[in-house]
Structure 1
Amino acid sequence: MAPQLRVFVPPHPLIQHWLGVSRDADTPSTLFRSAMTELGRWLTYEAVRDWLPTLETTVETPLASCPATFINPEVPVVIVPILRAGLALMEGAQSLLPLASIYHIGFVRDEETLEPTCYLNKLPASFDPQTRVLISEPMLATGGTIMAMMKELTARGADPSMVRIISVVTAPAALQKLADAYPELNIYAATIDEGLNSQGFIVPGLGDAGDRTFGT
């Protein structure tokens, strides 16, 4: 059976609560950052459920031996926040994956053409094919930035089936592009919105996640 893009919208009340807080135009920047951190935490929790490699072993409790399961430290785990808005989700993700390596990449979108330009790339020269890569990107709108991100990752040997994306608000345009190009991907989002406006912003969305996070 051919792979098919999987988009998960976890029905978790905490995810829905913090989504509501982040959507509200009256939410101040400090509270918006808290909402992004919490969404990063809970979306990551859902994303790593069957994704992290584990080891089966035995430990000694104070009373007896018993089976134990640990995360395999020999398999690399990487978090890549897409600058700058992706930093908003990273704190929550990193709290659950404290040993993960963090690599930064930055894109800026031309507001006329809607095409992304990479202005910072700190990705390694290559990835082990078994590397687990978690991308944090609050908005998947036109799909231009996330497609450019995936091109950079796969050019360095990352396996799309080992990549997971956490995003707060997604739109069908971006999801369709990803489905066509990288059907092995798994995406964890707080919601899928109805579409985009003429400027390429998600509607109803939550505005500019980067500006609201950093108060600019």
Structure 2
Amino acid sequence: MAPQLRIFVPPHPLIRHWLGIARDRQTPTPLFRTAIAELGRWLAYEAVREWLPTVSATVLTPLAETPAEFVDFSQPLAIVPVLRAGLGLVDSVQQVLPTARIFHLGLERDEATLEPRCYLNRLPEQFDANTRVLVLEPMLATGGSLLYVLDQLSDRGIPADQIRVLSIVAAPPALQKLSQRYPALTIYSAIIDEQLNDRGFIVPGLGDAGDRLFGT
């Protein structure tokens, strides 16, 4: 059976709560940062639920020996935040995955073509073949930025089925493009909105996440 893009919108009340705060145009910058960080934490928790490799062991409680299971942190993990907005998720996601290495990728949108331009690339020339990658891309609007990131990861030896994407808001145009190019991809998003406006912004969305994070 051919792979099919999977997108999960976890029905968690804390995700809905922090999404509502992030959407509100009157939310001040410090609280917006907190909302984005909390969304990153809870989405990361959901994304790695059945994704992290584990090892079985036994431990001694104060009363008896018992089976135990631990995350196998010897397996390589990577976090790739897409700058700028992806920076708002990094700290909380790293708290969930403390051993993961962080590789920054800076992209900006050409307002004329709506295509991404890369101004910073800190990806290694090649990843370990077993590396699992969590991409932090808060806004999936046209999908151009994430497609660029996935192409870069693919060139460095990471297949789509070893990647999970954390997004705050996703829109159908991006999901359609991603399903065509990378059908084995898995995405976790707080919400899927209905449409884009003529500038390529998600509606209702939450505005420019980078500007709101940094007060610019």
Name the TM tier (shorter chain): over 0.9
Higher deviation after alignment, 57-66 or 201-210 = 57-66
What amino acid does structure 1 have at the position aligned with 2:54? T
What amino acid does structure 2 have at the position aligned with 1:130? N
Within 2, Cα distance between the matches of 1:121 and 1:91? 20
Within 1, Cα distance between the matches of 2:197 and 2:154? 30
Cα displacement (A) at 1:129 = 2.3
Cα displacement (A) at 1:91 = 1.6
> How many matched pairs?
216
Within 1, Cα distance between the matches of 2:133 and 2:90? 13
Within 2, Cα distance between the matches of 1:73 and 1:96? 12
1:4-47 Cα offsets, whole Å, 9 max, x none, are 00000001000001000000000000000000000000000000
Within 2, Cα distance between the matches of 1:144 and 1:30? 29
Within 2, Cα distance between the matches of 1:168 and 1:86? 10
Within 2, Cα distance between the matches of 1:59 and 1:197? 56
Q: List gaps (5 residues or longer) in structure 2.
A: none
Which secondary structure does the structure 2 equivalent of 1:92 belong to? helix
Which secondary structure does the structure 2 equivalent of 1:4 belong to? coil
Q: Is the 8 A contact 1:130 1:159 kept in 2?
A: no
Q: List gaps (5 residues or longer) in structure 1.
A: none
Within 2, Cα distance between the matches of 1:129 and 1:190? 30
Aligned pairs for 1:74-85 (under 5 A) are 74-85=74-85
Is 1:26 matched with 2:26?
yes
Which secondary structure does the structure 2 equivalent of 1:164 belong to? strand
Name the % identity.
Answer: 62
Which secondary structure does the structure 2 equivalent of 1:62 belong to? coil
Within 2, Cα distance between the matches of 1:103 and 1:189? 21
Aligned pairs for 1:140-151 (under 5 A) are 140-151=140-151
Partner of 1:196: 196
User: Under a length normalisation based on structure 1, what TM-score does the superposition of the two structures give?
Assistant: 0.98
